[in-house]
């Protein structure tokens, strides 16, 4: 059986993106096993089942993954949180997901984040966009956990052959809410189609895709989307007149790709160098 013909496990199903994916992927005909720490608030899609579970509970995650061809991992702390809050679901929980995938021969789509590279500066004018092989520059403990998650996928591919796609999600909301999102916005439709393509792809390997729609202002360049045959169909450009003038006024927020996450708890007296390994006086 191929990954597309087997059940799909979706973690974080009760979250904002999880609910969208449950609805859309269910409508596409995928057989879904949904799980989250909190109850699923919507009507279950046809053929779907929901199990309330903690990502820290390894045996339960292993049981839920039995017979699955793909795991869409959207569970865990999904915003900037203290280290002790992040470490359980985002580190230990991810290990349980990958162990389940290894045992079942399943592939993993990991909901990574732009916050894994958030301290890269925003490109100006015709400056080069970041490619998928850029250095990690996390902007928070949340972003750090996403960088760790991508590295875990790298190890499980090299050591066990577990295929994984790391989607560095920009800003996935019904519509952009500020000027930064003209670069980072990912429509719900584009996200759902990306997940569908991942499930049905012939081969994935270890891959990274920038999770953004077809936005002219994008911060990001080359990635591995061709492996799954995905191309975004939507664009933030339609919202430019509505949000193009909405900025934070915070110089740290506006300098870096991670936006407001970079400014939380920021204590430097001058910006960090654009070159990740330069000294301040070389910036």
Secondary structure of residue 250 in the 3-state scheme? coil
Where residue 120 sits, what CATH number does that domain have? 3.40.50.720
Can you give the residue range of the structural domain that contains 198?
A: 3-282
- Distance, CA of 281 to CA of 279 (rounded, Å): 5
- Residues serving a catalytic function are 142
pLDDT score of 281: 61
The partner residues of 220 in beta bridges, in order of sequence, read 130
Q: Mean of the pLDDT values across residues 181-197?
A: 98
Go through the chain and tell me how many residues it has.
Answer: 283
pLDDT score of 232: 98
Instruction: State the pTM of this model.
Output: 0.95
Q: Mean of the pLDDT values across residues 237-255?
A: 97
- Buried residues in 234-256 as b, exposed as e (16+ CB within 10 A): bbbbebbeebeeeeeeeebbbbb
pLDDT tens, residue by residue, 126-151? 788 999 999 999 999 999 999 999 99
Written as six digits, the tokens of 269 are 């007296």
87: confidence class by pLDDT, cuts 50, 70, 90: confident
Number of domains within the chain: 1
29 has a pLDDT exceeding 50: yes
- The distance between the two most distant Cα atoms of the chain, rounded to a whole number of Å, is 60
Closest-CA residue to 223 (of 206, 210, 204, 205): 210
More confident residue, 67 or 276: 67
pLDDT score of 283: 46
Residue identified by tokens 């191929």 is 2
- Distance, CA of 21 to CA of 128 (rounded, Å): 32
82: confidence class by pLDDT, cuts 50, 70, 90: confident
17: confidence class by pLDDT, cuts 50, 70, 90: very high
% of the chain with per-residue pLDDT over 70: 98
């Amino acid at each position: 059986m191929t990954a597309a013909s087997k059940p799909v496990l979706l973690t974080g199903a009760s979250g904002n993106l999880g609910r969208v994916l449950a609805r859309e992927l269910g409508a596409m005909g995928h057989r879904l096993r949904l799980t989250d720490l909190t109850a699923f608030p919507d009507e279950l899609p046809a053929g779907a089942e929901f199990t309330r579970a903690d990502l820290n509970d390894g045996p339960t995650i292993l049981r839920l993954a039995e017979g699955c061809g793909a795991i869409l991992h959207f569970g865990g702390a999904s915003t900037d949180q203290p280290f002790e809050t992040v470490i359980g679901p985002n580190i230990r929980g991810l290990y349980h997901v990958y162990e389940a995938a290894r045992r079942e021969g399943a592939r993993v789509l990991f909901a990574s984040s732009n916050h894994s590279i958030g301290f890269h500066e925003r490109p100006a004018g015709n400056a080069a966009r970041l490619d998928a092989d850029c250095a990690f520059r996390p902007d928070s403990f949340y972003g750090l956990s996403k960088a760790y998650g991508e590295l875990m996928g790298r190890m499980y591919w090299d050591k066990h052959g577990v295929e994984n796609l790391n989607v560095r999600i920009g800003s996935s909301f019904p519509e952009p809410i500020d000027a930064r999102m003209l670069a980072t916005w990912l429509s719900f439709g584009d996200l759902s189609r990306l997940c569908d393509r991942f499930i049905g792809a012939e081969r994935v390997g270890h891959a990274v895709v920038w999770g953004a729609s077809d936005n002219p202002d994008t911060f990001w360049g080359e990635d591995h989307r061709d492996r799954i045959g995905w191309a975004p169909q939507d664009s933030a450009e339609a919202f430019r007149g509505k949000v193009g003038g909405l900025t934070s006024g915070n110089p740290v927020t506006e300098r870096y790709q991670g936006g407001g996450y970079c400014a939380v708890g920021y204590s430097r007296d001058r910006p960090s160098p654009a070159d990740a390994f330069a000294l301040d006086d070389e910036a």
